[in-house]
Structure 1
């Protein structure tokens, strides 16, 4: 073997690859014969194989040209076949085990193929049948040796070779069809081969695992690799398509998207045949990456029809897939999650395309149209999925959430200002209502979260006071329906989430909802008073507590009545925090009367406002005394009950 390296620098011998490679092969045969006679030489045989591939690589780097390409490919395959079969032959005939890295010889053969791809400007298409044969060899080796690593290695190297070849495609797109054909062929081969090999490996006796395979688990675990390898086989071709999209001027994406659709259909078929539930999610992410890449790189509003059709086709394929095979996927979650998310993840592409190509004033129809398939899917699941299916609630929540997501988008897209808030308030209450029908905690969290956002927009956003000029009609204005609807939705959500549905992240949500609703109601009262005393046409609403006695008295009376109402509710519901809040507000009202309003009292007849507040305070005191007396009487009755033996 060392003599071969000595002969390599001689140009005369270097130009005769058949002679040199035949000599190396004879040396390999001799070492194999010695290994069969003496098992101690097994490491020598393995190292000789590694040295042979190093020699082939050295020759390729120095002497390879178009004239010697076919001879080189033939010997590459010969050495790959010989050294791939040797470990299996020694294992079965003599029970001799070679080092684990001996299974990498097919991958080394592909490394040799990469060298002419990078070196030669004119590369024959006949290289690719050789690559396919080596891939088949690695597949057979993996199945016989019960390991998936050879497939992983040749997968990466094959797609690396294709990627290198794609860089030779000129910008005029000559050769694109051939490149896409090869890419599609190898992608189909690896996807089917990887799924089949993984299924065969896990079905072998003794291959059962105690844990479920994980896409992000340790690659050294065969169970994890059985999921990771098909996922990688599905992802890498899309990465190459993305590379093509970035490099070439593809005004029409049909060629690339057509291949992507073929791969997607095959991927979904593998999901059905081999029960690889993660593949639809992998395919959706890959397709979206390709679509977004093309859209941001090449989209032209003047040519929007073709990409729109492709976007909708991909959306439809992923959305319909689990419904077509409902019986197989009824007890699963991942395929349904992929179908439900296909709409929201495609929405931005479709919306931006329509807005750029067909700008109009009814863009809210786009999310409305997207909501329909999700609602239909929700109804189908309600009818077809059995009630005792563990995954039923998750499936319903996914499609219900997707539908409500689009309904939520209708308001900010089609409307503005207060209508966004009104829409979100209604949706928050609707989510809490839906939680009764589909008891999935995500719906409850989303509903409460949306209502908190509504409160923040109305109570913590000063811009809300300048949405519209002051209208001529007081009281019955946009403040009334905006704050009123939001308040009603908060109280309705609190009723809908009554125990035992009241816990959000382990905490009682009812005090929060009732508090936010009460604060909004109090704000509405003050806003209506401020609006009533504002000049018509004022650009923004402002709060002033001096300079107008009638306005100040209105605030005081309204606060007192609001405090009385709170006290009545607190007594009736036996809720101490509400009673304390009412007493606090009443105390603030009395202080305001004496220290602020009284200083502006200049006419006796205006003392009527003080009388109203005084009456409110007396009634509140009377109610509170009756409440305390009833509590004391109840406590005494409990104390006189004799204990039972």
Structure 2
């Protein structure tokens, strides 16, 4: 008899709330009702007798309160003379009807999931179907409310609540011997949220929240699916999991490109969300399937790809994430000493893993800098193009020195080391290579009329000459000393000629 009494009290409070145009009584009875249901759930014995009844009551009251909350909010807003589409704040003051009209449905949707999580944590549910089945019913209801009443926040609330429930069960009860059922549930939830806005594309074409929920559904479910496959079905091709996850995001991106009009104010956000999700999965392929330098290469390639995508979808988040990945890739190669011990020294000089690793990342930085030319060059109100060019040049210079050190290293060495004495051929190679690199920088600086590049080339050339006088004179034999002097002198003379001829001519023209 307790539940009919609870229902009567709820109906009375709802009637008074609508009659007085106050939503706070509905909020109070909502919380009290779910507290009573929670106390009932705590009485369920460990043998799970009484669980179906409790889940049935929870489902009934959840549907009842969600429908009543949305209906009452529409009534109160209409009575107060506010449009039903008036946007309130989730964390705004309860005294504002517009805020409460958002908070009440959100709370009505969240509390049932909190009780389901409590059931999951308290009871030994080896089979998640009872709680997940009720969760699917609640999610479908939430998505329906999103479509009918344009309460876009409910789709995000449904995704967050469902994820909390899934992770609570997975971390507490997942068994690798019974992996098929939870795997099907996880994929089903991800598909449900991903497909929803596409089914009603015309209604949601000018909105962002439903598309954000759809785009994030797969990335947020990825760990659950990946952990199930990694634990229950270990294999050597786990990189296929993120590759398969990338397919729906790419298909969604293609559908949006075809169906969303270019003049839509939210088209860039929608494309950026699905494009970013697809690139997120593509990025994960490298650290999951590969290791060491391949992780760095994957991040560098994705960073350049994001900068390219920014040309097609000018969303600032793509540019920020792309440059961040490129900076991380540079850091892993330039500031990580462990990279020099990834592989033992091979017998193949020059054409080795250093060449393609450092070379590809340097090219990615250079390409990204070209793609982010003005007016696309501002990241957090800072001109990012010079930084990308600088990092590319530093990696190229590092590659030059690494190849010289690797060429003169003994075969089979576990880690590459830099030595600047004891081998006259190596010392002379460093000096000549530095001089040629400085000359190349000078040519670029003159041709592009970039003063910092010219100054950097002159600085490196000065360091090369200083090394020649201070170090090489005492280490090289007389013949090689003369050869080094001649080569560096030719480079310095040619650099001086270029600097005076072409730079002087450009100054006269200006």
Scaled by the length of structure 2, the TM-score of the pair is 0.98
Pick the aligned partner of 1:506 from 381, 397, 403.
381
CA distance in 2 between partners of 1:254 and 1:629 (Å): 79
Distance 1:618 1:181, change over 3 A: same
In structure 2, the partner of 1:4 is none
Alignment of 1:79-478 (within 5 A): 126-204=1-79, 206-208=81-83, 212-478=87-353
Q: Deviations over 1:575-611 (max 9, x none)?
A: 0000000000000000000110011232325521221
1:495 aligns with 2:370: yes
Q: Indicate whether 1:593 and 2:468 are aligned.
A: yes
Shift in Å at residue 418 of structure 1?
0.6
CA distance in 1, matches of 2:85, 2:7: 35
For residues 332 and 153 of structure 1, the distance between their equivalents in structure 2, rounded to whole angstroms, comes to 32
In the TM superposition, what are the counterparts of 1:494-643 in structure 2 within 5 Å? 494-604=369-479, 606-635=481-510
How far does the alpha carbon of each residue in 1:187-229 deviate from its partner, in whole angstroms, 9 at most, with x for none? 0000011011111222236235997311111111110000000
CA distance in 1, matches of 2:309, 2:507: 42
Cα deviation digits, residues 414-470 of structure 1 (max 9, x gap) = 000011111111111100000011010000011111000000000000000000001
Task: State the alpha-carbon separation in 2 of the partners of residues 364 and 374 from structure 1.
Answer: 16
SS state at 2:299 partner: helix
State TM-score, norm by structure 1.
0.78
Q: Which has the higher contact order (CA 8 A, sep 6+)?
A: 2
Q: Distance in 2 between matches of 1:428 and 1:628?
A: 35
Note if contact 2:473-2:481 (Cα within 8 Å) is conserved in structure 1: no
CA shift at 1:572, angstroms?
Answer: 0.3
Q: Is there any run of 5+ residues in structure 2 with no aligned partner, and where? A: none
CA deviation map 1:535-594 (0-9, x unaligned): 111100000001111000000000000000000000000000000000000000000001
SS where residue 592 of structure 1 aligns?
Answer: helix
Aligned residue pair count:
510
- Change in Cα spacing, 1:333 to 1:528, as seen in structure 2 (3 Å) is same
Distance 2:398 2:223 in 1: 37
SS of equivalent residue, structure 1 residue 159 = helix
Note closer, same or farther for the CA distance 1:407–1:268 as it changes in structure 2 (3 Å cut): same
Using the alignment, how far apart are the partners of 2:46 and 2:107 within structure 1?
29
Q: Cα 1:632–1:188, aligned 2, differ >3 Å: closer, same or farther?
A: closer
**SS across alignment from 1:174:** coil
Query: Is the Cα contact below 8 Å between 2:344 and 2:415 reproduced in 1?
Result: yes
SS at match of 1:535: coil
Q: Which has the larger radius of gyration?
A: 1
Q: Give the match's secondary structure for 1:266.
A: helix
